[in-house]
């Protein structure tokens, strides 16, 4: 976990995950935490567990909210991993597709019911590759396109 954590909110959210989804949720939560570069904060935002760039590091966002690297949400019939680098860098989507797994995706989220459905190694690699400085620079560059 990062040095700035809203543990109570995250812990409360995780505690309410239904037991049949808990193994998948916990596996992805652990994956993100193990691969997350320093400098991000883990908190509740947007109705999910969120790993984001603190505003004191990068306050110049278009919506005045912290930039989210990824978020993990329990939905009505599945779990979603929102993976923002998929929006910003085409090579991240290519990496996910090379896994050969059939992915259930929204625009930038992976929907799943079991962790085995996900290309976990590739997701870990994407998260690890996005240190705060790289993520902010990538987001800034995408604004000018």
Q: Does the pLDDT of residue 4 top 80, yes or no?
A: no
For residue 37, being part of any structural domain is answered with: yes
The percent of residues above 70 in pLDDT, for the chain, comes to: 93
For residue 2, being part of any structural domain is answered with: no
Mean pLDDT, rounded, for 24-52 = 97
In this prediction, residue 97 carries a pLDDT of: 85
For residue 124, being part of any structural domain is answered with: yes
Q: Does the pLDDT of residue 65 top 80, yes or no?
A: yes
Tens digits of residue pLDDT in 77-108: 999 999 998 888 888 888 888 888 888 988 77
Domain that residue 65 falls in: 7-143
For residue 102, being part of any structural domain is answered with: yes
In this prediction, residue 86 carries a pLDDT of: 84
Phi and psi of 2, rounded to 5°? Answer: -75, 175
Question: What domain count does the chain have?
Answer: 1
| CA dist., res. 64 & res. 73, Å (int) | 22
For residue 73, being part of any structural domain is answered with: yes
Mean pLDDT of the chain: 89
> What end-to-end distance do the CA atoms of the chain give, in Å?
33
Mean pLDDT, rounded, for 36-47 = 95
| CA dist., res. 112 & res. 105, Å (int) | 9
For residue 99, being part of any structural domain is answered with: yes
| CA dist., res. 26 & res. 29, Å (int) | 5
Mean pLDDT, rounded, for 130-141 = 92
Q: Does the pLDDT of residue 7 top 80, yes or no?
A: no
Tokens of 12: 């409360």
Q: Does the pLDDT of residue 2 top 60, yes or no?
A: no
In this prediction, residue 142 carries a pLDDT of: 79
For residue 115, being part of any structural domain is answered with: yes
For residue 70, being part of any structural domain is answered with: yes
**CATH for 21:** 3.90.1150.200
């Amino acid at each position: 976990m990062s040095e700035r954590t809203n543990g109570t909110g995250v812990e409360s959210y995780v505690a309410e995950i239904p037991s049949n989804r808990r193994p998948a949720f916990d596996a992805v939560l652990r994956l993100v935490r193990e691969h997350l570069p320093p400098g991000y904060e883990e908190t509740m935002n947007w109705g999910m567990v969120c790993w984001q760039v603190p505003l004191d590091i990068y306050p110049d966002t278009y919506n005045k909210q912290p930039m989210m690297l990824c978020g993990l949400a329990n939905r009505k019939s599945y779990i979603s991993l929102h993976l923002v680098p998929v929006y910003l860098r085409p090579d991240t989507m290519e990496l996910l597709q090379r896994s050969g797994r059939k992915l259930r995706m929204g625009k930038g989220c992976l929907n799943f019911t079991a962790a085995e459905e996900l290309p976990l190694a590739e997701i870990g690699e994407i998260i690890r590759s996005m240190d705060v400085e790289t993520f902010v620079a990538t987001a800034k560059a995408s604004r000018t396109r």
